[in-house]
Structure 1
């Protein structure tokens, strides 16, 4: 007979790290009851604002490709970036539309609905903690990659768009320094004007932060969800063995 034990592991810690990252990009609307209706409404608006923001960014890049059609270098560079951000906005919108279903899946894991056992053993406790450790390790690996990715997407374009700040020569046409934003894009205004340039620059900075964070956050969440469910299937198997013993 397997050694019985009291549950010591807090199931609410499962996927807690992944949920925190999703909150940053407006994808986790599960708030405690103490938060008012306006808080939930503002967060809901924030989530859709990020989707529209990234979608607009993709549109500016696609329009730039269309207006410079025939430039293979621009097509390769902007095309790849447009695909990355298009994937991000697609994941973001689908996640928002399926939020309630995804929320139920996580609640099932954290509540122990799939692995409730009257004879909880040390083996089952070990399986649960192993799943938790595995999800955290995988999550931190992805997030470290995400931090490097965001720094890469931000730092290199900044070095390019502000060459004078680093002792480099800027792009000069007709004795005038041409201002450039982080990524090539088409805007319905002249970004050489200071106010429009600042608006376009801030717009692209926000997208270079939210885009990769959304991509990596959702991908990591899905991987962690799969790991947790695999762990719970192992728990069910262990419970059946305990009953047979």
Structure 2
């Protein structure tokens, strides 16, 4: 049967991370290293620096500090994700190469259909996240323009070593901030979706493994050796799946920790900020869209993580769903062993 192309499903995310300067093709320094340094310095470090400096100057104004802090934390989180992507790029590439292994291939059309709903759900979630994230960005980008204010406002409070209220500095600075937040949002989306992909692919492996276990005993006793061989292959498949999980968690465990901490604080601050703005104003809607987007991110991490754990725990039930009672005694003992994996 034709190999299932797992990598084709994540090519888009890898391509976008490469555009962001976070996915080098090799570890050797070159033109891409220079490009990566420039983009990260300009769109992450520069954007964060100007906002942090501004916090120093407005430290006496609690309302302004609160208005800056919640999205500043999320931007800091994007910087953390970028750091761990670049630090663990070799681990990531090794995990992706693992997808090509024969162990991770569905063995029948039935197994292909078995994993399709999970993959489809993950891809739909990505589309929802894109709409919510860039919708939130659109609110942040336009609300200073549609608010009736005499002073020129930027999407984000920041300090710059020039008077940005004058034209064309205002327009240039405005566009710079919009590009920066779009860049940071793209990092958030693609890193998160890549982690979701690892969780989805792992849960698909448990679906395939469970189906293999269910069909172990669908043979006569004359095929005892074949059944025993298939049992050993299931054990090996399970070991490889656990090895894949172990390698993957080295990449995203710290990202997940930072994500939960920063997102929790940001949601709390933004909910407080929501009580201080004019109801149903453009800023009100931008805050609501921000809270929804961050909440969805946390929910999806929990959802896909729970899927992996649940499907792993359900492997033992797959043994009893097979016709294990018709096997020889020594194979029944092996089935008992499979129940414990």
**TM-score per shorter chain, which class?**
0.7 to 0.9
Q: 1:63–1:20: structure 2 CA closer, same or farther, 3 Å change rule?
A: same
RMSD over aligned CA atoms reads 2.8
Gaps of at least 5 residues in structure 2 are 219-341
Q: Give yes or no for contact 1:85–1:211 (8 Å, CA) kept in 2.
A: yes
- Structure 2 CA distance, aligned partners of 1:185 and 1:222? 32
Deviation at 1:197, TM superposition (A): 3.6
Which digits, 9 at most, give the CA deviation of each residue in 1:111-158, with x for residues without a partner? 1444247xx223322234333313211211211212212212212234
Residue equivalent to 2:76: 86
Residue equivalent to 1:165: none
Instruction: Indicate whether 1:25 and 2:12 are aligned.
Output: no
Instruction: Indicate whether 1:105 and 2:92 are aligned.
Output: no
Q: Give yes or no for contact 2:144–2:153 (8 Å, CA) kept in 1.
A: no
Q: Map 1:162-173 to 2 at 5 A.
A: 168=148, 170-171=150-151
Q: Map 1:147-166 to 2 at 5 A.
A: 147-160=134-147
Deviation at 1:61, TM superposition (A): 1.1
Gaps of at least 5 residues in structure 1 are 1-5, 32-36, 161-167, 172-178
Partner residue of 1:69 out of 59, 62, 71: 59
- Structure 2 CA distance, aligned partners of 1:135 and 1:143? 12
Residue equivalent to 2:122: 135
- Structure 2 CA distance, aligned partners of 1:169 and 1:75? 20
- TM-score after normalising by structure 1: 0.75
SS of 2:164 mapped into structure 1: coil
* Structure showing greater relative contact order (alpha-carbon pairs closer than 8 Å, 6 or more residues apart): 1
Q: 1:147–1:197: structure 2 CA closer, same or farther, 3 Å change rule?
A: closer
- Structure 2 CA distance, aligned partners of 1:57 and 1:130? 40
Q: Give yes or no for contact 1:11–1:112 (8 Å, CA) kept in 2.
A: no
SS of 2:13 mapped into structure 1: helix
Q: 1:26–1:159: structure 2 CA closer, same or farther, 3 Å change rule?
A: farther
Deviation at 1:97, TM superposition (A): 1.6
Q: 1:217–1:244: structure 2 CA closer, same or farther, 3 Å change rule?
A: same
Q: Give yes or no for contact 1:57–1:204 (8 Å, CA) kept in 2.
A: yes
Deviation at 1:98, TM superposition (A): 1.2
- Structure 2 CA distance, aligned partners of 1:237 and 1:30? 36
- Structure 2 CA distance, aligned partners of 1:41 and 1:150? 33
Residue equivalent to 1:124: 111
Which range moved further: 62-71 or 18-27? Answer: 18-27
- Structure 2 CA distance, aligned partners of 1:239 and 1:115? 12
Residue equivalent to 1:144: 131
Q: Find the structure with the greater CA-based Rg.
A: 2
Residue equivalent to 1:164: none
